[in-house]
Structure formats: structure tokens, C-alpha cells
Structure 1
């Protein structure tokens, strides 16, 4: 049995197959997911699992170097956005690696998810609680 926190087999397999700059989206319950992109659906009910809980577990397994969010996220849901930024800052400190943070419109964000290797759907029901993580390298 795995020793790390991530025990979901689909998500664990995804992380183990990521290459440098591959992208993974973690989203709320309402983000549309393109048919051609792998869907890892963790949603059970409203709020379960929570967006931030999913992000924390993912970051416990995956090295990232970039983050992309919708501009609307910081304006419409500032509390959750700021909590995500805090987690990203903690990740920078823990890994000693630079992590770029960028923003696009929500419409551009939805199109960009089509390039993700997978989209992980949570039960989060906070507007614009979506993030694209770009894989980094551990060396």
C-alpha cells in the first residue's frame, strides 16, 4: 500500500505519468470538461471533496512550476483565491522552486483546459474555483 497521502488510483497514475510542462486542471463542480480530455471525477456532493483539499493532496505528489487561473477568481471569490495563493507560496517555500502565477479570462481558461492531460473535478461550488497546474521537475 502507498505511504503517501494520495490513494486515488487514477490521480496517482496521472501524476506518475506527467512530463515537464504537462498541464492538469483541478476544477469546481461546474466547469465544462472537453470530451477528449481525461476526466477524473472526485465529486461526491456539494463541497465534497473541497477544492483546496484536492489541491493540497495533489501538490503533495506533484512538482509544479506554473499556475494559471481565471481573472474572475480573485475578484468574485477572493477568500478562496487568497487561500490558494497562500498554498502556492507554501509550496514555493517547501520546494525552493519558482512557481509562476498567471491569469486569463474565464473564457480563455476554459479553452486552455482542452490542453490539459486531465481535468480533476471536485465537489467545490465556489464560483471560479479552478486552477491549471503546469508540471515542473524535481531535479
Structure 2
């Protein structure tokens, strides 16, 4: 049994199995999950757990080099966008912004989609794994 780390065994396994440039998605409760992509469903109720809670925990335990969001998040969910900007500063992470349709297409390549209870628009992010021995934080 682990002393530290992520308690959810499915998420812990996905993170342990990631290689450099593999991607995972953390989503709101409405994002469609493509056929063949593993869904780890954490949603209990609207807002529980929140997008911010789940992203914060994953960010502590996953070494990422890039974040991918839908451009629509800026205008339609500035609170989530500002949270992501502060969590993943653009001087330390590559930022990829595409249309929501292109974002959904990109989820087809993700190792998993972690579904939160978030019920605000466009609260979705794809994280690209970094090499664990690189110089980035």
C-alpha cells in the first residue's frame, strides 16, 4: 500500500504507465468519451469533485510539458482559464489552444479521460507527459 500519492488506483496506474508525449484528459461531466479511450469516472454530483480539485492533484503527481485547451474556455469560462494559467504558466509549459471540435478530436489519442463532476462550460484539459528526467518543473 502506498504512503503517498494518488489514492485512486486507476489514475495511479495510468500515471505510472505514461511515457514521454503520452496524453491524458481531465474533463467536465459533459465531454464525450471516444470509443476505445478509458474513462475514469470520478463524478458524484454536479461540481463534485470539481475540475480545479482534480487538476490540482494530477498536476502535483504528473510531470507535464504541454497543456491543450479549447479556445472557447477563455470567453466562456474565464475562472477555469485563469486557474489553468496560474497552474501551468506559459513560460514553463507549452500551451496549445484549438477549437472545441479539434480538442474533442485530440481526446481520441488520450490514454484516459478523467471525468469530474464539473458543470461549467469548456472545463477540459489535455496534459502531455514530459520526460521525468528533464529540467522542467
- TM-score category of the 2 structures, normalised to the smaller one: over 0.9
Tell me the residue number matched to 1:119.
113
Tell me the residue number matched to 2:72.
72
Give the alignment's TM-score, normalised by structure 2. 0.93
Deviation at 1:89, TM superposition (A): 2.5
Tell me the residue number matched to 1:108.
102
Which has the larger helix fraction? 1
Report 1:36-51 matches (<5 A). Answer: 36-51=36-51
Distance in 1, matches of 2:2 and 2:116, equals 22
Tell me the residue number matched to 1:54.
54
Deviation at 1:138, TM superposition (A): 1.9
Deviating 4+ runs (over 4 angstroms)? none
Please give the per-residue CA displacement for 1:51-81, whole angstroms capped at 9, x wherever unaligned. 0110011111110000000000011001111
Unaligned runs of 5+ in 1: 93-97
Distance in 1, matches of 2:84 and 2:43, equals 19
How many residues align structurally? 133
Secondary structure of the residue aligned to 1:89 is coil
Give the alignment's TM-score, normalised by structure 1. 0.91
